[in-house]
């Protein structure tokens, strides 16, 4: 079961490890990202950022889908992290265990604008976002748990 | 959410730069921007500089400093080709112009993309410079196209909209007025009634005619001093008096183009020269490429054909003789030459048939220059060229351009340079094969010209020299290709010049990668290029160096750079040569080189020859020398050997020995072992071994997932090892290490301390250190033991710190968008050190890595978004941890000052959580 799916361009880093993990109440972290799979150095950095008592799995998006659809994953509480909204949508579409999505950070790029703290999106991503909003129970923007969450629904409709 | 100041600032500049008003640059200064946005000048300046450093803005380093929005300057196209800093507005303006979409009027100027490229850039900048353009002087010998260029500049100005479409191009040939300055002045400025006898009414001058357009003063050196003075008075003020009336002054907005064949410093008044900010020097035809000459010839023939409404063909000999003539009077003379040819041909030609230009139709000056026609030309089958053939030849000649275009822009192949260089080379070599096929076909059809034969001689000479020195052999087929390529380069590389310019940065970075990938090939390429430069007196541009590197890289399968070099020395005029040749033939590869030793030659001379040969071997090498009876002692005692060569001698040279040693060399048997095994029977052979080479201490970096990661690890180590530590890091292919294990030549040539990587290749006798373990400080006893064998305790500490910092930096690079990571990391390093002192703790590597990345990203977020996170127990935290807060604040002092941000208490609370809970 995925307790929370977080979208964060930096994937797992110090702040996420400390704040969200204790908040999400999961026993395992799943990082789903195609880029990291080919980057041994980035993998080492992710492993170093992980709290000592947590399990960590790093998979490609397809690998993550397979893992989440494995019946044995049903009983494990998972905190999943992806890099982009597109990746989140791919996971959501191909699995049925994700209902809560937190968007914490998306990198600035060509044609993007800031819609929530640390979240830059372009037009394409806005479309993906609204698709995502329709598929799961909750999509919110929040950097750390103590911040006030802002619902994606209200942000898009503005 | 309110838009941050940062974004507003960028947006403001974006809208300013979108249609930059080059006459109102004051809007682009920090002061003006600060005023518009209502922030302090210092703050604005800091933001602007940050953005400029990050590449969003372009900066002009004058007083005051101007800032422009990079993307908006060029309407979102090709902006990555702009530099970050320009030293003057003019420079930036010229760069912007050169990158703007072209109107194409300069296309009709042959050479505008080749030898006249820079001239064209200058002309464009001058004519369209804001205001009334910049006066420009075209300086070049007669017939180089000054008037033509001036006309094109006017057309360009019309198309760019800097002058009206009705504006005039007024040309004045000043030589007509050389003896009559008064006439010049009256014509230029006009006169009023009664100015001189016969002036019966007012008459406007050329200046007035050219108002709003372009005035072209040709042969300006013919003007008298008085005229030059009047001219620069007008240039200064923009106003003038008509002759005969010193009261009323008139203004004219005129773009001035001046032209001269003489050195302006010698012939123009210094006061006038000073008022001409731009001078462009047009090259004589003799300095331009053969290709451009061919193009000019074709173009002129085609123009004549249209003019006389008849097809024109030209005999091959005539064509060649025109091309071979030097044309001291340049393009003008070439044009004139074609006119004469056509006129002469018309007299003798049958009416209504196509006109054939023959040698006898050529102007006398060419005929007198050529007493005999080179015999090669007479053997050619195709004797008559029609215009289509000449044109298609011109197009075909762009093969090198097409090749380079494909290399630099083709279907993502270039991306493979990083990831999979082997694949890159194999893809590109396929393309290059095709190129060689085309070249070969063409040469077969066209035949070789005498100059090409000369070039081939030089290329072959260089290759023979190189292969001797490097103990390699270059296949005949490869050699032919290399020759063809050099030919093509000499004739047609100008076609590639724009491509090379556009991809300057890319080309340099590819060359760097080539160098890293195979320094031997790269070294040989450079060596080849430098000898070619000397031999043919031509510079080798980086793009062609890249072509050569790819070409030479395709040789390498036949070459083993690291192989032991075999040398045969024997008495007799050619005994050694023939033994070596036979041996190489039987071994199937070039293993042995020969030094012949005529009976009467003193062994000292042979030793000197051998020493010379050894000196020229590059890098660390093993050499084995086979000598015939009796010479051994005398030679090896006289050898002054370079200290990086291991030198083995065996006496009693025989064919059997040659084959025996050769086959061991081919299977990479170490020299020492070869010597021992050959000399198992001491009665038959004796050996001497000079082990001069100190094996360097190295760390091998490998990675099962590919050479790219291994390369990164190697970089990380190289950057982190303290400077005084004498150890280098070698990237090695994981699979070949697994395949040959301890027998890999790398172990014989180096003192391998240990292997570092992500996965243990399991080479017995060589310890393996996982990068992960080093970073995470696992198995520290074991790791420290390996490292402390060559590092002191202090060095070890420095190494660990550097490693962590550089590793964090590698990971941070993709995270930051605007701040310079290296610079920022320096500050963060200080913060982490201070916080460890302040808390009296030694953070783990994991915490330090986390802090490096977290703090760096935090600073960027505070700058760009001004957003700080909330913390749920903030009051509580503030009450209980005042010490930690003030310690953190003091640790952050430097960074706050430098980046103009303040770290809020809620963020400090997170740092606390992170340090104490992680």
pLDDT digits (tens, 9 = 90+) for B492-546: 777 777 788 888 888 988 888 888 777 778 888 888 898 888 777 677 899 999 9
Contacts of residue B1 in chain A, CB cutoff 8 Å? Answer: 114-117
Residue B572, classified by CB atoms within 10 Å of its CB into exposed (0-12), middle (13-18) or buried (19+), is middle
Return d(Cα B464, Cα B667) in angstroms, integer: 25
Predicted local confidence at residue A33, as pLDDT: 94
Structure tokens at B649: 């001698």
Return d(Cα B220, Cα B259) in angstroms, integer: 6
Beta-carbon contacts of B857 under 8 Å, excluding residues fewer than 6 positions away, are A10, A13, B812, B815, B816
Q: Which residues pair with B756 in a beta bridge?
A: B701, B769
Residue B856 has pLDDT above 50, yes or no: yes
Residues B830 and B775 in one domain: no
- Closest approach of B815 to chain A, Cα-based (Å): 7
For residue B102, what is the enclosing H or E element? Answer: none
Return d(Cα B214, Cα B155) in angstroms, integer: 10
Averaged pLDDT, A122-138: 91
Considering only residues B536 and B869, tell me which one the structure prediction assigns the higher pLDDT: B869
Most confident of A12-21, B131-140, B640-649, B682-691: B131-140
Residues B751 and B835 in one domain: no
CA B28 vs CA B44, B55, B66: distances in Å: 11, 16, 5
pLDDT digits (tens, 9 = 90+) for B561-608: 557 888 888 887 778 878 887 887 788 777 887 887 777 777 777 888
Q: Are the CB atoms for B218 and B259 separated by under 8 Å?
A: yes
Domain range list for chain A = 2-157
Residues B269 and B146 in one domain: yes
For residue B453, being part of any structural domain is answered with: yes
Residues B244 and B158 in one domain: yes
For residue B591, the SS3 value is: coil
For residue B150, what is the enclosing H or E element? Answer: helix B146-160
Contacts of residue A44 in chain B, CB cutoff 8 Å? Answer: 758, 771-772, 775-776, 807
Averaged pLDDT, A113-126: 88
Residue B158 has pLDDT above 80, yes or no: yes
Beta-carbon contacts of B904 under 8 Å, excluding residues fewer than 6 positions away, are B868
Q: What is the DSSP letter of B282?
A: P
Contact A116 B815 (CB under 8 A): no
**DSSP string covering B160-205, please?**
HTSS-TT--EEEEEGGGGTT-HHHHHHHHHEE-TTSSTT--S-EE-
Contact B815 A114 (CB under 8 A): no
For residue B868, being part of any structural domain is answered with: yes
Contact A14 B771 (CB under 8 A): no
Residues B648 and B719 in one domain: no
State the ipTM, two decimals. Answer: 0.90
Predicted local confidence at residue B523, as pLDDT: 81
Which of B691, B712, B746 lies at the terminal end of a domain, its last residue?
B691
Contact B910 A147 (CB under 8 A): no
Averaged pLDDT, B736-764: 83
Residues B428 and B325 in one domain: no
Angle B30-37/B5-18 helices, nearest 10 degrees? Answer: 120
Q: Are the CB atoms for B620 and B749 separated by under 8 Å?
A: yes
**DSSP string covering A2-59, please?**
EEEEEEETT-S-HHHHHHHHHHHT-SEEEEE-HHHHT-HHHHHHHHHHS-TTSEEEEE
Task: Please report how many Cα atoms fall inside a 13 Å half-sphere around the Cα of residue B651, on the Cβ side.
Answer: 16
For residue B608, being part of any structural domain is answered with: yes
Contact A45 B867 (CB under 8 A): no
Residues B117 and B250 in one domain: yes
Predicted local confidence at residue B115, as pLDDT: 72
Return d(Cα B99, Cα B79) in angstroms, integer: 8
Averaged pLDDT, B349-375: 76
Structure tokens at B307: 């003019």
Percent of chain B with pLDDT over 90: 18
Residue B448 has pLDDT above 70, yes or no: no
Contacts of residue A48 in chain B, CB cutoff 8 Å? Answer: 775-776, 845-846, 849-850
Count the domains in chain B: 7
Return d(Cα B88, Cα B174) in angstroms, integer: 34
Q: What is the DSSP letter of A148?
A: P
Return d(Cα B676, Cα A149) in angstroms, integer: 78
Q: Mind spelling out the 3-state secondary structure of B35-90? A: HHHCCCHHHHHHHHHHHHHHCCEEEECCCCCEEEEHHHHCCCCCHHHCCCEECCHH
Catalytic residue check, A60: no
Q: Which residues pair with B728 in a beta bridge?
A: B698
For residue B214, the SS3 value is: strand
Matching CATH number, A2-157, of 3.20.20.140, 3.40.50.1970, 3.10.310.10, 3.40.35.10: 3.40.35.10
CA B496 vs CA B79, B113, B400, B481, B539: distances in Å: 21, 9, 7, 19, 14
In degrees, rounded to 5, the angle at the alpha carbon of residue B661 between the alpha carbons of residues B612 and B594 is: 35
Return d(Cα A115, Cα B238) in angstroms, integer: 54
Residues B362 and B440 in one domain: no
Which of B536, B558, B580 lies at the terminal end of a domain, its last residue?
B558
Query: Which residue matches tokens 């947006």?
Result: B11
Return d(Cα B122, Cα B278) in angstroms, integer: 8
Task: Please report how many Cα atoms fall inside a 13 Å half-sphere around the Cα of residue B631, on the Cβ side.
Answer: 30
Percent of chain B with pLDDT over 70: 89
- Mean pLDDT is lowest, of B11-20, B603-612, B613-622, for B613-622
**Does B27 contact chain A (CB < 8 Å)?**
no
pLDDT digits (tens, 9 = 90+) for B112-133: 766 787 788 889 889 988 888 8
For residue B843, being part of any structural domain is answered with: yes
- Closest approach of A105 to chain B, Cα-based (Å): 11
Of the candidates A13, A49, A117, the beta carbon closest to that of B865 is on A117
Beta-carbon contacts of B20 under 8 Å, excluding residues fewer than 6 positions away, are B68, B73, B96
Q: Which residues pair with B650 in a beta bridge?
A: B626, B687
Structure tokens at A25: 């109440």
Contacts of residue A15 in chain B, CB cutoff 8 Å? Answer: 854, 910, 914
Averaged pLDDT, B546-568: 74
Averaged pLDDT, B619-623: 68
Predicted local confidence at residue A57, as pLDDT: 93
**Does B95 contact chain A (CB < 8 Å)?**
no
CA B814 vs CA B120, B432, B820: distances in Å: 40, 35, 11
| Nearest-10 Cα torsion for B225, B227, B233, B235 | -110
Residue B391 has pLDDT above 70, yes or no: no
- Give the residue from chain B lying closest to A43, CA to CA: B772
Residues B252 and B309 in one domain: no
**Does B673 contact chain A (CB < 8 Å)?**
no
Q: Identify the contact set of chain A against chain B, taking CB-CB distances under 8 A.
A: 9-10, 13-15, 17-19, 38-42, 44-45, 47-49, 51, 107-108, 114-118, 143-148
Q: How confident is the model at residue B173 (pLDDT cuts 50, 70, 90)?
A: very high
Query: How many helices, marked H, and strands, marked E, lie in chain A?
Result: 7, 9
Contact A45 B807 (CB under 8 A): yes
pLDDT digits (tens, 9 = 90+) for B140-151: 999 999 999 999
Selected catalytic residue, list A10, A13, A50, A94? A13
Cα-to-chain-centroid distance, residue A132: 12
Residue B895 has pLDDT above 60, yes or no: yes
Residue B558 has pLDDT above 50, yes or no: no
- Give the residue from chain A lying closest to B704, CA to CA: A40
- Closest approach of A109 to chain B, Cα-based (Å): 9
For residue B92, being part of any structural domain is answered with: yes
Structure tokens at B578: 């023939």
Averaged pLDDT, B471-486: 78
**Does B832 contact chain A (CB < 8 Å)?**
no
Average pLDDT, chain B: 82
Mutation target among A18, A83, A119, A158 for the B interface, most CBs of B within 10 A: A18
Residue B556 has pLDDT above 60, yes or no: no
Contact A49 B870 (CB under 8 A): no
Contact A41 B1 (CB under 8 A): no
Residues B190 and B298 in one domain: no
- Residue A117: how many other CB atoms lie within 10 Å: 20
**Does B807 contact chain A (CB < 8 Å)?**
yes
CA B343 vs CA B232, B355, B361, B368, B578: distances in Å: 45, 10, 8, 19, 64
Residue B769 has pLDDT above 80, yes or no: yes
Mutation target among A11, A45, A112 for the B interface, most CBs of B within 10 A: A45
Q: pTM of the prediction?
A: 0.43
Q: How confident is the model at residue B467 (pLDDT cuts 50, 70, 90)?
A: confident
Q: How confident is the model at residue B677 (pLDDT cuts 50, 70, 90)?
A: confident
pLDDT digits (tens, 9 = 90+) for B289-348: 777 788 888 888 888 888 888 888 888 778 888 888 888 999 999 999 999 999 988 888
Structure tokens at B533: 């430069």
For residue B377, being part of any structural domain is answered with: no
Residue B371 has pLDDT above 70, yes or no: no
Range of the structural domain that residue B902 is part of = 813-917
Which of B262, B283, B304 lies at the terminal end of a domain, its last residue?
B283
Residue B204 φ/ψ region, left for φ over 0, alpha for ψ in the -120 to 50 degree band, beta for the rest: beta
- Mean pLDDT is lowest, of B75-84, B153-162, B342-351, for B75-84
Q: Which CATH number belongs to the domain containing residue B84 in this structure?
A: 1.10.10.10
In degrees, rounded to 5, the angle at the alpha carbon of residue B508 between the alpha carbons of residues B503 and B510 is: 95
Contact B914 A14 (CB under 8 A): yes
For residue B379, being part of any structural domain is answered with: no
Angle B41-54/B5-18 helices, nearest 10 degrees? Answer: 70
Most confident of A120-129, B102-111, B579-588: A120-129
Predicted local confidence at residue B332, as pLDDT: 92
Beta-carbon contacts of B451 under 8 Å, excluding residues fewer than 6 positions away, are none
Of the candidates A14, A40, A115, the beta carbon closest to that of B758 is on A40
Contact A14 B850 (CB under 8 A): yes
Residue B34 has pLDDT above 90, yes or no: no
- Closest approach of A96 to chain B, Cα-based (Å): 31
**Does B851 contact chain A (CB < 8 Å)?**
yes
**DSSP string covering B720-766, please?**
HS-TT---EEEE--HHHHHHHGGGSHHHHHSEEEEEEESS----TTS
Residues B237 and B324 in one domain: no
Whether the link from the prior residue into B64 is cis, omega within 30° of 0, is: yes
**Does B772 contact chain A (CB < 8 Å)?**
yes
Contacts of residue B3 in chain A, CB cutoff 8 Å? Answer: 114
For residue B390, being part of any structural domain is answered with: no
Q: What is the DSSP letter of A138?
A: E
Residues B252 and B125 in one domain: yes
pLDDT digits (tens, 9 = 90+) for A61-74: 999 999 999 988 88
Of the candidates A10, A48, A114, the beta carbon closest to that of B857 is on A10
Phi, psi of B17 (to 5 degrees): -80, -15
For residue B385, the SS3 value is: strand
Largest CA distance in chain B: 121
């Amino acid at each position: 079961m995925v307790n929370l799916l977080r979208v964060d361009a930096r994937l797992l880093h110090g702040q996420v490890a400390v704040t969200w993990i204790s908040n999400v109440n999961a026993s395992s972290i799943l990082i789903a990202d195609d880029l990291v799979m080919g980057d041994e150095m980035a993998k080492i950095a992710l492993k170093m950022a992980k709290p000592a008592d947590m399990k960590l799995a790093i998979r490609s998006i397809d690998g993550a889908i397979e893992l989440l659809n494995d019946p044995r994953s049903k009983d494990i509480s998972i905190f999943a992290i992806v890099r982009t909204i597109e990746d989140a949508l791919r996971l959501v579409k191909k699995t049925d265990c994700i209902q809560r999505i937190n968007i914490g950070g998306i990198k600035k790029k060509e044609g993007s604008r800031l819609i929530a703290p640390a979240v830059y999106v372009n037009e394409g991503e806005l479309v993906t976002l609204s698709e995502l909003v329709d598929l799961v129970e909750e999509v919110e923007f929040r950097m750390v748990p103590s911040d006030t969450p802002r619902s994606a629904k209200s942000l898009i409709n503005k | 959410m309110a838009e941050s100041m940062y974004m507003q600032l960028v947006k403001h500049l974006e809208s300013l730069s979108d249609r930059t008003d080059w006459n109102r640059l004051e809007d682009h200064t920090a002061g003006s921007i600060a005023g518009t946005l209502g922030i302090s000048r210092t703050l604005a300046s800091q933001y602007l500089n940050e953005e400029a450093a990050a590449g969003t803005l372009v900066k002009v380093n004058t007083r005051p400093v101007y800032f422009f929005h990079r993307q908006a300057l060029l309407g979102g196209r090709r902006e990555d080709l702009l530099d970050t800093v320009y030293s003057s507005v003019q420079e930036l303006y010229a760069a912007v112009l050169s990158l703007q979409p072209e109107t194409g009027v300069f296309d009709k100027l042959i050479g505008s993309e080749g030898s006249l490229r820079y001239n064209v850039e200058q002309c464009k900048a001058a004519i369209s410079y804001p205001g009334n353009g910049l006066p420009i002087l075209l300086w070049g010998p007669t017939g180089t196209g000054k008037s033509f260029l001036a006309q094109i500049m006017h057309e360009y100005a019309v198309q760019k909209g800097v002058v009206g479409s009705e504006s005039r191009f007024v040309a004045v040939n000043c030589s007509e007025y050389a003896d009559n300055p008064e006439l010049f002045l009256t014509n230029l400025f006009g006169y009023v009634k009664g100015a001189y006898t016969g002036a019966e009414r007012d008459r406007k001058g050329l200046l007035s005619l050219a108002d709003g357009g372009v005035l072209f003063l040709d042969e300006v050196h013919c003007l008298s001093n008085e005229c030059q003075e009047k001219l620069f008075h007008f240039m200064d003020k923009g106003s003038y008096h008509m002759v005969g009336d010193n009261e009323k002054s008139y203004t004219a907005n005129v773009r001035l183009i001046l032209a001269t064949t003489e050195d302006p410093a010698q012939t123009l008044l210094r006061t006038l020269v000073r008022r001409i900010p731009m001078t462009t020097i047009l090259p004589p035809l003799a300095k331009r490429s053969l290709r451009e000459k061919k193009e000019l010839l074709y173009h002129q023939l085609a123009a004549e054909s249209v003019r006389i409404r008849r097809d024109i063909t030209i005999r091959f000999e005539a064509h060649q003789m025109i091309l071979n003539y030097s044309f001291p009077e340049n393009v003008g003379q070439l044009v004139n030459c074609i006119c004469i040819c056509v006129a002469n041909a018309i007299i003798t030609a049958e009416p209504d048939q196509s006109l054939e230009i023959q040698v006898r139709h050529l102007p006398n000056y060419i005929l007198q220059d050529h007493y005999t026609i080179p015999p090669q030309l007479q053997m050619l089958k195709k004797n008559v060229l029609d215009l289509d053939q000449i044109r298609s030849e011109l197009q075909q000649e762009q093969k090198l351009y097409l090749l380079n275009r494909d290399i630099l822009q083709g279907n993502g192949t270039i991306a493979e340079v990083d990831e999979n260089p082997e694949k890159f080379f194999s893809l590109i070599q396929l393309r290059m094969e095709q190129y060689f096929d085309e070249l070969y076909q063409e040469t077969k059809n066209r035949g070789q010209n005498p100059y090409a034969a000369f070039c081939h001689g030089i290329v072959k000479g260089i290759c023979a020299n190189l292969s001797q020195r490097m103990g390699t052999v270059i296949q005949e087929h490869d050699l032919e290709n290399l020759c063809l390529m050099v030919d093509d380069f000499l004739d047609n590389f100008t076609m590639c010049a724009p491509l090379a310019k556009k991809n300057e940065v890319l080309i340099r970075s590819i060359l760097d990668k080539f160098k890293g990938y195979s320094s031997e090939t790269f070294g040989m390429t450079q060596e080849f290029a430098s000898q070619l430069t000397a031999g043919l007196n031509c510079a080798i541009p980086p793009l062609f160096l890249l072509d050569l590197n790819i070409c030479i890289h395709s040789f390498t399968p036949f070459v083993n750079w690291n192989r032991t070099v075999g040398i045969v020395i024997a008495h007799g005029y050619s005994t050694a040569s023939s033994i070596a040749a036979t041996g190489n033939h039987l071994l199937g590869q070039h293993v042995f080189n020969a030094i012949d030793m005529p009976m009467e030659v003193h062994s000292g001379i042979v030793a000197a020859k051998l020493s010379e040969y050894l000196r020229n071997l590059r890098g660390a090498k093993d050499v084995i020398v086979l000598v015939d009876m009796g010479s051994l002692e005398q030679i090896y005692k006289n050898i002054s050997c370079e200290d990086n060569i291991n030198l083995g001698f065996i006496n009693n040279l025989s064919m059997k020995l040659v084959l025996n040693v050769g086959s061991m060399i081919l299977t990479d048997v170490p020299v020492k072992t070869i010597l021992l095994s050959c000399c198992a029977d001491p009665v038959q052979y004796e050996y001497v071994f000079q082990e001069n080479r100190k094996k360097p201490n190295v760390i091998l970096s490998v990675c099962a997932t590919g050479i790219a990661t291994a390369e990164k690890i190697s970089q990380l180590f190289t950057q982190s090892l303290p400077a005084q530590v004498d150890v280098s890091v070698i990237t090695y292919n994981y699979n070949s290490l697994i395949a040959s294990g301890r027998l890999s030549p790398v172990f014989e040539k180096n003192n391998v301390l240990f292997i570092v990587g992500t996965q243990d290749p399991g080479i017995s006798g060589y310890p393996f250190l996982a990068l992960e373990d080093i970073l995470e400080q696992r198995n520290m006893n074991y790791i420290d033991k390996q490292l402390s064998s060559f590092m002191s305790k202090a060095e070890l500490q420095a190494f660990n710190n550097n490693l962590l910092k550089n590793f964090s930096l590698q990971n941070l690079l993709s995270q930051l968008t605007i701040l310079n990571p290296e610079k920022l990391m320096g500050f963060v390093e200080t913060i982490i050190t201070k916080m460890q002192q302040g808390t009296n703790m030694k953070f783990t590597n994991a915490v330090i890595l986390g802090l490096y990345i977290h703090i760096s990203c935090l600073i960027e977020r505070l700058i760009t978004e001004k957003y700080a996170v909330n913390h749920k127990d903030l009051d509580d935290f503030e009450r209980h941890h005042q010490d930690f807060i003030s310690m953190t604040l003091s640790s952050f002092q430097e960074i706050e000052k430098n980046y103009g941000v303040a770290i809020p208490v809620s963020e400090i609370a997170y740092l606390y959580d992170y340090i104490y809970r992680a």
